Amino acid sequence: MEIRDLVDVRAREPQRVTELAAIRSTPQGLTGVTGRLMLVAADHPARGALRAGADGLAMANRRLLLERLAIALSRPGVDGVLGTPDIVEDLLLMGALEGKVVIGSMNRGGLAGTSFEIDDRFTGYDAAAISRMGLQGGKMLLRIDADDQATARTLETCARAVGELAGQGLMAMVEPFIAHWVEGQLRNDLTVEAVIRSATVAAGLGWTSAHTWLKLPVTDDMDAVLAATTLPVLLLGGEVSVDQDTQFAAWQKVLANPQVRGMVVGRSMLYPPDGDVAAAVDTVVGMM
């Protein structure tokens, strides 16, 4: 489907989105042929985070982004996608989500590079919409800054969302970070201690953790990080690396731990240094 076709459907038949969502074939569980969950992440643009590698506007071209997502979703072993409503609906209209795990991105209000970035309000999906659209869960970003009082609001809202998703029997994917303002920019602390602290806080959110999965970055001592929780862990792919072989080797080492139940990778697979999306996807799936 061409961009002009997507625009035409949105302009003339907006009801097609809910109609297709109602008849979409959904997966039987959260893991596919690898026994683990492999998701492509595509929720960055809604935060104004468009950079991939050295290209500051790599994700700004929606046609190219959708083409790359379609390639990734077509590869064996890719279970589904994590996205905001606009991208999920584009893929739905394209017919790319049949049988796929779809996780809706919930809080996108902490726009990248803004003074209110830590105040990550829920401006995307809510639990009711995720259930109504037939999605398999919701994802939330939780950045914790001890010196910024806006953190408290995000903590409270994430806890509420975890409970609401659990009440619907849906996955709550929480991506936590300890974060600090450095020279006017919000930076995530990726030290082992910081990742452990963020994981323990995220695991305790909501009235139940029965449906909570943690999305965590790869650090130097993942054994210590994984020892801090009994929740299923998904590895965060992170930024595009110039040395992708080293990046992949680090992921493969951590994937050997049975507590790691899969990966959520976005820019690293969609915008690999050599431009070969299919090869990058197949390499990551092979590690699973």
How do the domains of the chain map onto residue ranges?
3-287
Q: What is the pTM of this model?
A: 0.95
pLDDT computed for residue 32 by the predictor: 79
**Per-residue pLDDT band at 240 (split at 50, 70, 90):** low
Rounded to whole angstroms, the Cα distance separating 212 from 262 reads 14
Q: CB-based burial of residue 26 (10 Å sphere; 0-12 exposed, 13-18 middle, 19+ buried)?
A: middle
Whether residue 76 has pLDDT greater than 70: yes
What CATH number is given for 3-287 in this structure?
Answer: 3.20.20.70
What pairs with residue 158 in β-bridges? none
| Mean pLDDT along residues 59-75 | 96
| Mean per-residue pLDDT, 73-91 | 97
Tell me: pLDDT of 273 over 80: yes
- Indicate the pLDDT class of residue 282, thresholds 50, 70 and 90: very high
Amino acid making up residue 43: D
Q: Once rounded to an integer, what is the mean pLDDT over residues 65-94?
A: 97
pLDDT at 113: 92
**pLDDT for residue 242 is more than 70:** no
| pLDDT (mean) for 134-148 | 96
Q: In this model, does residue 148 exceed pLDDT 70?
A: yes
Give yes or no for a contact between 174 and 142, defined as CB atoms under 8 angstroms apart.
yes
Phi, psi (degrees; rounded to nearest 5) at 241: -105, 135
